[in-house]
Amino acid sequence: MTATFFAIQALNGLQFGLILFLIAAGLTLVFGVMDFINLAHGVQYMVGAYLVAAFSAWTGSFGWGLLLALPTALAFGLLLEVLIFRHLYDRDHLDQVLATFGVILFLNQGVKFVWGAAPLSVPVPEILSGSVEIMDGLLYPVYRIAIIAAGLLVAALLYVVVSHTRVGMLVRAGATNAPMVSALGVNIRRLFMIVFGFGAMLAGFAGAMVAPILSVQPGMGDNILILAFVVIVIGGIGSIRGAFLAALLIGLVDTLGRSFAPNLLRLVLDPSAASQTGRAIAPMLIYIFMAAVLFFRPSGLFPVKR
């Protein structure tokens, strides 16, 4: 029983970690390449979820909804880049934090303006509904397996693109030394725009994938944004590999911590104190973990060499 419970929680942690990775990948590239701190990345996740909710209600199918939502999320990201973000690349971090905070305020209310404050729900697509038995007595929802598969697929794709294509090479070079890449004749602004647009699309994809299992509501991106920042800071800003490992680590630590901290503490404390302290400590675990990582390695686990 405990083994099954542990396996389910580990799978949930893996799924959560992969969603975090989808968001963090765009964030870490945008930060690494452009030295641009984008708080509005979380609302792009929210916008992705809203778009898929709107499009799947319109077309009547989640598949078509997703297919329409992705290019729209990309276009929306590019629009924000052109309108606001490109004017901020040369500013200091404080200006970037503030202006993108403004984008959050606007969009969180903006979705309420358009879709109302009540949460939307997106039905799980027909072919991916139900559960399968992975091992003895372990039933796991198919849709969550699909999220894990999609997350791993995107991670593999990103690995190939970043490590083995010309664009990926430019992105890596840009993360190491953007002025030098520009001096070698690469249109760095266009590269920024591409990276930004695809980062926004990845966040939108993450939002779209979780829409059927979470409620789609204003402000849903706020907390996940903070977690994504924890991920990229632990992983080392600009490093996709670091983001991947840190996202899985954070996903597992958070999910397992919440389920097992009270039980573990019961070994040393009496039951009521253990469940009290456990519930207090579990949500703090990842922040304690982050502070510890930064204490020993002030620029993350896999710092990009400059």
* Contacting residues toward other proteins, per CB under 8 A: 31, 37, 39, 84, 87-88, 91-95, 97-99, 101-110, 112-113, 222, 226, 229-230, 233, 237, 276, 279-280, 283-284, 287-288, 290-291, 294-295, 298-300
Nearer to other proteins, 9 or 222 (CB): 222
The CA angle 202-203-207, to the nearest 5 degrees, is 115
Minimal distance, residue 46 CB to other proteins, in Å: 14
Minimal distance, residue 281 CB to other proteins, in Å: 8
Tokens of 242: 């670091």
Minimal distance, residue 45 CB to other proteins, in Å: 16
Q: What 3-state class would DSSP assign to 216?
A: strand
Minimal distance, residue 291 CB to other proteins, in Å: 6
Minimal distance, residue 54 CB to other proteins, in Å: 17
Minimal distance, residue 295 CB to other proteins, in Å: 6
Nearer to other proteins, 67 or 97 (CB): 97
Nearer to other proteins, 54 or 66 (CB): 54
Q: What 3-state class would DSSP assign to 59?
A: helix
Is residue 256 a contact partner of residue 262, using CB atoms and an 8 Å limit?
no
Helix axis angle, 188-210 relative to 41-59, nearest 10°?
60
Q: What 3-state class would DSSP assign to 124?
A: coil
Nearer to other proteins, 87 or 189 (CB): 87
Sequence-distant (≥ 6) Cβ neighbours of residue 245 within 8 angstroms: 235, 301, 302
DSSP string, 171-196: HHHHHHHHHHHHHTT--HHHHHHHHH
- What gap in Å lies between CA 124 and CA 205, rounded to an integer? 15
Nearer to other proteins, 212 or 236 (CB): 236
- What gap in Å lies between CA 259 and CA 277, rounded to an integer? 13
Minimal distance, residue 266 CB to other proteins, in Å: 17
The CA angle 286-203-186, to the nearest 5 degrees, is 110
Nearer to other proteins, 191 or 250 (CB): 250
Nearer to other proteins, 15 or 108 (CB): 108
